[in-house]
Structures are given as C-alpha cells and as structure tokens.
Amino acid sequence: MPDVLHYRQKRLVKYLSVAEQPLTAKKLAETLEVSTKTIRNDIQQINLLLGDNKIRSKNGVGFWLKSQLENDIKREIEDESPDILYELLIQLLDHKSCNFYDLADAFFISESTLNRYIKELNEMLIKDNKSSPIQRKNNRLFIQGKEEDKRKVFNQFLNQEVEENKLNLEAYSDYFETSNLSKLSKLIVSFHRKENIEMNDFSTITFILHIAVLIERISKGSYLNVQLSTMIDKKSSHLATELVKLLEKNFNIELPKEEFAYIYRMYAGTVLTDEGLNNHYLKKTVEQMLRNIYSTFYIDFTKDENIIYDLQNHLSALYKRALYRQYLSNPLLGEIKSKFPFIYNVAVYGSAYLQNSLDINFPDEEIAYIALHFLSASETIRTKKRKQVLFISPYGVGNQNIVRKKLQQIKSFKIELQIASSFFDAEKSVNGTIDEPIS
C-alpha cells in the first residue's frame, strides 16, 4: 500500500484504534493540537484514501473505527516515518523538559524506540555541537543550550535536507500523457540559459511542473480565463511570448493568448486579480502562515524576498482549483516525502492553516507543490549565506590549515574554500565565481 497518509493522519487512526469508546472531534483536536475542522477534514481524507469508510461517526457520540484494520493499513499507520523525529523536536522545543515515559505514550511508541529516535536526532544535530543537544536527566528529556541555540535546531534539519538531497525529473519523464518531462526540462533550461534567467534547481523544477500541467490541461481542452491587460512588464511579456512559441512548436499544441498570462506571472512575480479571491486578504493569509511557521519551526522564509509573491501567486490559482476540485497531479510527491520529510512536514503545517483560513480542502499533491516553494526559498536563503573564498598561499599545508580553521569560526556565512599556491595557479584551478580572494 502506498504511503498516502501523512503523519498527523497516522496518529489520528492509531489513536482511534486503541480507544475503548468513540472519541469526539474536540477530544481528538486537543490530543493532536489542531482545530476540530482539521480533524473532520483529516477523517474525510482518510476515508477517501483508505476506502470503505474506515472511520464512522454519529452526532453526539463521536468517531470510531468501523472494524479491525487490515494488515497493510496497520503497516501504513505504524510506519516509522521520519516525520516523527520532527514531531518529537517540536515537543522538546515547546517545553522546558518532557517526561520520557509520557512522551513515549503520547507517540504510541516503546521506550526503546524513543531512545533510538533520540539517538538519531542527536546524531543529526551533533555536527555543530560538541555534545549531544538532547539530554536525559531524572527521566526528563530537554534540549540544552540557550534559546538562540534551540532556534537553530530546525534550521540545521532544513539545511541538511537541502544540502544532501536533489530531485530528479528524469525518472518521471512519462508521467504526463502529453508532455515528456525530460524533453520539457531540456527545452526550458536551454531557453532560460539563452535569456539569462537565473533560477535555483527547486525553482526550475517548480516552473517545469507548472508548464507540464498547463500543456496537459490545454491538450484536454481546459482553459483559463485571464485578462491580457495584466501583462504590463515588458521583459516578462517577452519571455512568456517566446516560451509559448517554443511550446507550440515542440509539443504540437496551440495556446490561446489568454493563457499567456499564466506563464507571464511566473516570470513577473505578480498576482492576477480575477480569480475569485481578494488579493489583499490572500497576501495577509500568506504572511500569517509564514509567521506561524516561524513561531513553530523558527524558520524565516521571508528572507527570500520573492516567497510571499510566489505563494500568493500559487494560492490564487489553487483556490480556484479547490472550488472546482480540479487539483494538480504531482509526480514528485513520494520523492519529496522521502527525501525532504522536514520541509514536507512544514508544508503540511502551513497548508492546514491555509485550508482553514480560505475554507478550502486540497490533497497531498498540492501540499507537495507548496513544499517545492519552501525548498526554493530555502535554497535561495542558503545561497546568500554561502561565500566562495580563494586563498592564495605558497607557504604549504600548515599555513593553509591555520587559515581554514580561522574561516570556520565565522558563523554568519558558510565558507567554501579554494586554495592556490600562486596567482598563476589560481587562474587555472579556480572553480566557479569567487566572492573573496585572500593571500
């Protein structure tokens, strides 16, 4: 059975499976620390995904499982997803200390399993710490250090995921009926290189997927109704027009001019005003979601100056899709969940707020698109904090090591050091753009 339930939904099912009587939405909401509306939405989605209305309900009584779960569903909800590591971190960060045994009970895991998870967390976090940050004393678990140190924990998880993992569209080249993703990727990357358009890898993947969905939608006779008067930026209008020509030539489709604005806004970073939702309210909703994420995960995505416009732009279209239940498919859902569990968990958290605020529902495929926006923002922020330094020194390895250690003490940037023994060697051996040369 595919991994279709996210972690909160697995906890909900598991909680009902051990309950001796029906549980109200209020009780479930208190246990999972979400709203009753989120509980009802989760139960509705669980029943759709698992089929046969596994969770039953009755007014004035509550929710209960219809019957014993089949073995494949049991394995699904008992899967030791990486998400649990982040849920544990949230608990430890939100409290000065947690009782070890109460925490094991709260997560429906054994004491030995909790010990193993704590060990895994410490192994992931110990890179920037001389000792294990999560300590156990008198059966109380706590994160040692000042508040500022604790706030860095989630950022360590985020940076580790982005640094160590990449997404590969090549594996999904035949996912869409009309647009070959491999062919489309090469076309768009080549076009952007020719037009000197700079996007990080995650932004490029997001762009390619949106264009693939557009081609698929057009091939099935489904069109947007967007006013061309919104296309006021000349550079973005040029890019949209030229890309449309390439798409029509290479994929044997004809795009009506009303569709140009869909591509235009991805270049311009603007939001269209005719999609049924007040843009001022939408912007405020996005800003509040990002504040909530910072409050819970201590990650400030607004350091990417485009994130608000990108999300507002994405959500304006998502809102309309949700009204008509015409959601985007996403071939990268499984890969995002497995390679970027933390960022996906953040996207699930943010999406719960969006669904409640906008009074809509959307599936995991759409949440994965929001995760892609967060990944893109993370990469942009991470790149700003990275410095390429060229050290020119003829004095041997000892001198080079001293300088390397001194540079590693700088915390405001991640230093990537390249070394040459002379200016002449530097011209031959330098890889990429150098931010700071020193000698």
Place of tokens 């109380």: 140
Per-residue pLDDT of the chain (439 residues; tens, 9 = 90+): 334 566 678 778 878 887 778 888 888 888 777 788 888 888 888 888 777 778 888 877 888 887 655 555 555 554 445 567 777 887 887 788 999 988 887 777 778 888 988 988 888 776 655 556 888 999 999 888 776 666 677 777 777 777 778 888 877 877 887 788 889 999 999 999 999 888 888 889 989 988 988 888 788 776 665 554 455 678 888 998 899 999 999 988 888 877 777 788 788 765 444 445 677 889 999 999 999 999 888 899 999 988 998 898 888 888 888 888 888 888 898 889 888 888 998 999 999 999 999 999 999 999 999 999 999 999 888 877 555 666 566 655 556 566 666 655 555 555 565 666 655 555 555 555 555 555 5
* Backbone angles phi and psi of 57, in degrees to 5: -150, 160
Q: Cα separations (Å) of 403 from 412, 430, 439?
A: 17, 18, 10
pLDDT of residue 388: 60
Among candidates 310, 345, 293, which has minimal Cα distance to 203? Answer: 310
For domain 7-78, give the CATH number.
1.10.10.10
State the Cα torsion 225-229-230-231 to the nearest 10°.
Answer: 110
Architecture (CATH level 2) of domain 83-145: Orthogonal Bundle (1.10)
Q: Are 173 and 180 in contact (CB under 8 A)?
A: yes
Domain ranges in the chain? 7-78, 83-145, 169-382, 385-438
Q: What is the DSSP string of 176-233?
A: SSS--HHHHHHHHHHHHHHTT----HHHHHHHHHHHHHHHHHHHTT------GGG---
Q: What is the DSSP string of 210-223?
A: HHHHHHHHHHTT--
Q: Do domains 7-78 and 83-145 have the same CATH topology?
A: yes
Longest dimension (CA), the chain: 81
CA–CA distance, 237 with 239 (Å, rounded to integer): 5
pTM of the model: 0.66
pLDDT of residue 424: 53
